[in-house]
Amino acid sequence: MAEAHPVGFQWVVEAKNRGAKVIHVDPRFTRTSALAHTYVPVRAGADIAFLGGVVNYILANEKDFREYVLAYTNASTIVSEDFRDTEDLDGLFSGYDPETNTYSSDSWAYEGMDQHHEPHPETAEPMRHESHGAPVPKDAPKDPTLQHPRCVYQILKRHYARYTPEVVERLCGVPKERFLEVCEAWTANSGRERTTALVYSVGWTQHSVGVQYIRTGAIIQLLLGNMGRPGGGVLALRGHASIQGSTDIPTLFNLLPGYLPMPHHEKHETYRQWIDAIRHPGQKGFWSNAESYAVSLLKAYFGDAATEENDWGFDWLPRLTGDHGTYRQALDMIDGKIKGYFLLGQNPAVGSAHGRAQRLGMANLDWLVVRDLYLIESATFWKGGPEAATGEIVPERCRTEVFFLPAASHAEKEGTFTQTQRMLQWREKAVDPPGDARSDLWFFYHLGKRIRERLADSTLPRDQGIKNLTWEYGEDEPDAEAVLQEINGYDLATGKPLSAFTEMRPDGTTSGGCWIYTGVFQDGVNQAARRKPGREQSWVAPEWGWAWPANRRTLYNRASADPEGNPWSERKRYVWWDAAKGEWTGEDVPDFEKTKPPSYRPADDATGVAAIAGDDAFIMQGDGKGWLFVPSGLIDGPMPTHYEPAESPIRNPLYGQQANPTRTVYDREDNPTNPSPPERHSEVFPYVFSTSRLTEHHTAGGMSRQLAYLSELQPEMFVEVSPALAAERGLTHLGWAHIVTARAAIEAKVLITDRLVPLRIEGRTIHQLWLPYHWGSEGLVTGDSANDLVGITLDPNVLIQESKVGTCDIQPGRRPIGKALLAYVEEYRRRAGLVPGHHPPIVTSEDADG
């Protein structure tokens, strides 16, 4: 956190000054570790085993916060008798189909659950559900004594029983005593009187089991009663400024604003099918009002053209046909299926996994528009990138026409940033952008205007959507506040801004570009622009910026009070029921219907919001509870399980199933995977590598390696190795080395450091090495790109790449150049058995038919 969020880290330092204990778990000792009380070295890719060990510690020693677990989680819910665990099936769950490498989750259901699922979900299916919770019955059978062998609590206990401290030591390389120190500190600091916060970032998400990493952390925080409570929770640090905003108002292919799913051409043929898929008639929760959010969005898009008769313009929305993820796109470009590309503030030539595939893909386009502050590598790859050097791309013959349009920087335009804690902060424009540089808002507005002019006479059905958009934002620079107001939404009858998403209607009388943002312009005031200093308001500081939804700062804060509505302790009071006034009150906006008492129990036939009981703290879930066990909605399993990364030198010691059996693999010759046990030749790439960031640079370097003051702080691409690894391979400090995987060989200067230690894993010494990923071929300082080493293997739920762990070789000296480089890497592939016709095995378990 200190490396990537130095300004945010001041709050960790402040907490430390007030007595908080800081524990840092990471494959290497970083600037964060330097300020932590305890540093725990862990093998990259083994975190589920580590966290599973913590779950086991909690359950075996009965350290869970029992009243919280019983009241607010699905611990007591009974699961179908058809369910089989990884313990029974050598690393697989029941319902696996080796033909499609997917699960049917029917057998994971709660007992008595009626399955509406199609059996074999395709990738990213859960993204269509996001936080809705896929269909679950609101009243599945439960055992509040937690003794029933098929209740979630007992299933969890059995599942994590093998994750003992000894296993954690052997698998993760964490000394037993240090592991237990973490368990003891975490559990001792949780409960009624104290809470512990879990903070993570992309070191957890960028794995083929990334979603399950987060899930394990969430399980621990639910068991310990830390969710929805002050000083607790799970804080997901994100990787870019406003990237939270870029999923809220999404740049993701499968989402519409506010996490409404993008309609799918088969599954959502009609408007009604689409709406019902989101709101799951019969379930609890606030997604039951999805039609209000959806209609309001369509009214914001299409204005008066959206009517009840035309289903509010539903047919003008694009449709998904499958995987349109960014990696699929890059490979489709190579295959000639994509002709044109807009690239805005993104640099896949350096920043995305498998740099070579990215660049070869872009080299096969008809046209490419790049908008950025500088000529980044993704604009100049055709003449200055590695493939130009090897001759794979000949600049004079590259077919891609590249248009570079200069972009305004953040100080040269106004608008909001939405950061990790869901807070929107409005920023003023400080100066005009230079020359022809323009904001993204200006660009898209005027692009849209010109396209609409061209289509003015079109009668084609596919053009009607664009023609019917409300698209009037002025003559030159669009008014960003007007856009934010449109996002906030209006009561169309009165023209007044909406104050809350609960005011949205499904009858076309309200509009709103993003229901979770409704309230940001409450009373016509730009709430995101507020900057009341912390010392002038309460400790929750609700008058600085505006957080979605409803300026609620901690989500699920109903859980900060017990089932009767009283705070768990005076010390940790946050939100509580005021019986005299008949309403929820407290330090924050209650995440619960204001006047619904804790004693409320729904009628048997109640659905939606009315079905939420007075003790259903997790109001977005279909059963109102926090999920320790996920009966549906995830592609790779109801409980996190340790799988080795797709590339690993270690045979999974826990199960026959080596790696995630549902991981997304693009098995093609240009995307080879290093061999891992039980495959042969894994010793060709014997070392584990990880990538991450330096404080001094920013992502792919476009905003830092062009500046002298930052470039001089970290002027060269380097690789960190332990003294032992340096001795093993003959590397010298500040000498050259090159790192090789099946995809590429890159060179870097060597930094020998004690901050990396060899780990003892399964009786062997495993060396890890580390690379910053900031370097590319453009800028004041240039160098090879770490992401050229990484292949494309993705988490199946969300399609994120596994770029935090892989295997490699490292050798002293510079890499070959030109054609010799291609031959060099080809030789490694040959030695590793990665020849045409070779396919990485997905299923390595004995029980694939189970």
Partner 1 sequence: MANSLYGPLDPAPDAGYVDAPPRMGFFTDTSVCIGCKACEVACKEWNAVPDDGFDLLGQSYDNTGGLSANTWRHVAFIEQPAPSETVFLGMPGADKPDFRWLMMSNVCKHCTHAGCLDVCPTGALFRTEFGTVVVQEDVCNGCGYCVAACPYGVIDRREGDGRAWKCTMCYDRMGDGLTPACAQACPTESIQYGELDLLRETAAERVEKLHAEGVGSARLYGHDERDGVGGDGAFFLLLDEPEVYGLPPDPVVTTKDLPDMWKRAGIAALTMAASVAVAFLGRRR
Contact 794, 325 (CB under 8 A): yes
**Amino acid residing at 454:** R
- Region binding partner 1 by CB under 8 A among candidate stretches 32-40, 71-79, 148-156, 404-412: 32-40
Q: How far is the CB of 173 from partner 1 (least distance, A)?
A: 8
Q: Toward partner 1, which CB reaches closer, 33 or 641?
A: 33
Burial level of 677, CB count in 10 A (0-12/13-18/19+)?
middle
Instruction: CB nearer to partner 1: give 24 or 138.
Output: 24
CA gap 590, 694 in Å, rounded: 38
Strand-pairing partners, residue 264, are 320
Question: Residue 52: left if φ>0, alpha if ψ -120 to 50, beta else—which one?
Answer: alpha
Annotate 444-483 with b (16+ C-beta within 10 A) or e (fewer): ebeeeeeebeeeeeeeeeebbbebbbeeebeeebbebbeb
Q: Measured from the CB of residue 418, what is the shortest distance to partner 1 in angstroms? A: 21
| 59-67, 514-522, 547-555, 716-724 -> range binding partner 1 (CB under 8 A) | 716-724
- Which two tokens mark 654? 């826990």
CA distance 524 to 502: 17
CA–CA separation, 351 vs 577, rounded Å? 48
Interface with partner 1 by CB under 8 A: which range of 171-179, 241-249, 314-322, 801-809? 171-179
Q: What residues form DSSP beta bridges with 811? A: 738
Considering only residues 753, 811, 824, 846, which one is a binding residue for partner 1 as defined by CB under 8 A?
753
Q: How many Cβ atoms sit within 10 Å of the Cβ of residue 708?
A: 10
Contact residue for partner 1 among 48, 739, 781, 794 (CB under 8 A): 781
Concatenated DSSP letters of 85-99: -TTTBTTB-TTEETT
Is position 41 an interface residue for partner 1 (rule: CB under 8 A)? yes
Name which position in 34, 60, 188, 823 contacts partner 1 (CB under 8 A): 34
Q: What distance in Å separates the CA atoms of residue 644 and residue 638, rounded to the nearest whole number?
A: 18
Q: Looking at residues 368 to 407 of the shown chain, list those that interact with partner 1 (rule: CB under 8 A).
A: none
Work out which of 194, 780, 812, 822 binds partner 1, going by CB under 8 A. 780
Among 389, 405, 713, 822, binds partner 1 (CB under 8 A): 713
Among 709, 836, 837, 839, binds partner 1 (CB under 8 A): 709
Q: Does residue 733 interact with partner 1 by CB under 8 A?
A: yes
Residues with Cβ within 8 Å of 256's Cβ and at least 6 positions away in sequence, in order, are 250, 262, 297, 317
Tell me the C-alpha distance between 270 and 264, whole Å: 10
Tell me: does residue 814 bind partner 1 (CB under 8 A). no
| Distance between CA atoms of residues 262 and 127, nearest Å | 10
> Could you say which of 62, 114, 177, 436 contacts partner 1 (CB under 8 A)?
177
Phi, psi (rounded to 5 degrees) for 86:
-60, -25
- Which one, 11 or 367, has the nearer CB to partner 1? 11
Q: Bridge partners of 235? A: 199
Stretch that binds partner 1, among 247-255, 463-471, 739-747, 758-766 (CB under 8 A): 758-766
Q: Which is nearer to partner 1, 89 or 725 (CB)?
A: 725
Rank residues 31 and 324 by Cβ distance to partner 1 and give the closer one: 31
- Only one of the segments 5-13, 99-107, 215-223, 430-438 lies at the binding site for partner 1 (rule: CB under 8 A); that segment is 5-13
Single out the residue of 431, 447, 579, 734 in contact with partner 1 (rule: CB under 8 A). 734
Structure tokens at 402: 């590249």
Q: Of these, 20, 22, 23, 35, which contacts partner 1 (CB under 8 A)?
A: 35
Least distance from C-beta 781 to partner 1, angstroms? 5
With respect to partner 1, which residue has the nearer C-beta, 617 or 750? Answer: 750
Q: What x/- string results for residues 664 through 703 when contact with partner 1 is judged by CB under 8 A?
A: ------------------------------xxx-------
Member of 10, 131, 270, 595 binding partner 1 (CB under 8 A): 10
Contact between 9 and partner 1 per CB under 8 A: yes
Rounded distance between C-alpha atoms, residue 447 and residue 190, angstroms: 53
Q: What residues contact 9, with CB distance under 8 A and at least 6 apart?
A: 1, 2, 32, 35
Q: Is 175 a residue that touches partner 1 (CB under 8 A)?
A: yes
Q: How far is the CB of 760 from partner 1 (least distance, A)?
A: 5
Residues 6 or more apart whose Cβ sits within 8 Å of residue 273: 267
* Shorter beta-carbon distance to partner 1: residue 33 or 682: 33
- Residue 732 in the binding site for partner 1 (CB under 8 A): no
- By the criterion CB under 8 A, which residues form the site for partner 1? 2, 6-7, 9-10, 13, 17, 29, 31-35, 37-39, 41, 175, 177-178, 694-696, 708-716, 718, 724, 733-734, 749, 751, 753-755, 757-760, 765, 780-781
